[in-house]
Amino acid sequence: MSDWDGKSKGTVIGYKIFIYSIKIFGVSTAYLILRFVTFYYYLFAKKNRQAIESFYAEALKIPQNKIKALTRKNFFYFGQTLIDRIAFLIGKGKRFSYTFKNEQNLIDMKNAGKGGILLSGHVGNWETAGNLLEARITPRINVLMYDGEAKKIKKYMESSTGGSKFNVIPIKNDLSHVIKVHQALSNNEFIAIHADRYLEGAKYLEIDFLGKKAKFPLGPFIIASKFKAPVTFVFNVKEKKYHYKLSSTTPITEKLPAEEIARLFVKELEKKVTLHPEQWYNYFNFYK
């Protein structure tokens, strides 16, 4: 059973404060405010705090005397992902820079003319990756996701910032999203999918992840295995205040079973989480 319900957390007033701060005072001031906000959440978001601290102790074997400081750092980094996201939406993203390890992989996928499937997870900041790459490799990135963001927040974000720059393909019970994925790939577009959150009631695979069995959603890997588009695993982690590091794996071009793609993805996810535990943003019992 997964504790994740497919919905983003937060309040409209919280988004208003940060949008106003970034517009008037800039990103640095928003980061300063964030230190107080994330400390509040560290004190009172007990369920989230316990989940991440348990993961650090049991999965990553981090010493107890280092876990509290790492958890506070994690909350602060997560808040930065939201601020950076807003900054790009309102035209304040020019000061951000990045390096891209194996960028040629995506260029080759684009040149092959079959589109591409980009599998990622909740390590680092995937949306900023798309903003940094906007029009550099492809003018259009489609994001396949559960459309679970709270309606009031979504409405406010759209009215205040113009909304996401990505084309969101919501996952539907009638499988209409599969048709849209096919159309996008036929147009030589990229499909980005998070593949590390299992939603209760959905089909899943149980795979060894950092020494314990964990459930991963089957859907993303079925899509990756059924279409003829190349598949790569893409991550984007923050290295400095305004600098990100993107990476992609060698594209899978041959037809592989969904289970095999899933195992390859989980191995890459293990590497990223081990290297960047402060940027692991799954705040629920990952092994439950």
Which pLDDT value is given to residue 3?
58
Structure tokens at 123: 């390590």
Residue 287 lies in a domain: no
Strands 212-217 and 167-170: unpaired
Domain that holds residue 243: 12-279
One digit per residue, the tens of pLDDT, for the chain of length 288 reads 455 444 555 566 667 777 888 888 889 999 999 999 999 999 999 999 999 999 999 999 999 999 999 999 999 999 998 899 888 888 888 888 889 999 999 999 999 999 999 999 999 988 777 777 665 777 678 888 876 654 565 665 566 556 666 788 888 777 788 999 999 999 999 999 999 998 888 899 999 999 999 999 999 999 999 999 999 999 999 999 999 999 999 999 999 999 999 999 999 999 999 999 999 999 999 997
CA distance 116 to 252: 10
Contact 105, 128 (CB under 8 A): no
Residue recorded with tokens 């759209």: 158
Residue 7 lies in a domain: no
Residue 1 lies in a domain: no
CA distance 265 to 270: 9
The count of domains in the chain is 1
Residue 30 lies in a domain: yes
Structure tokens at 56: 């650090």
Residue 188 lies in a domain: yes
CA distance 234 to 115: 15
pTM of the full predicted structure? 0.89
Residue 5 lies in a domain: no
Residue 210 lies in a domain: yes
Residue 3 lies in a domain: no
Residue recorded with tokens 């190349």: 230
Closest CA to 59 of 270, 279, 272, 200: 270
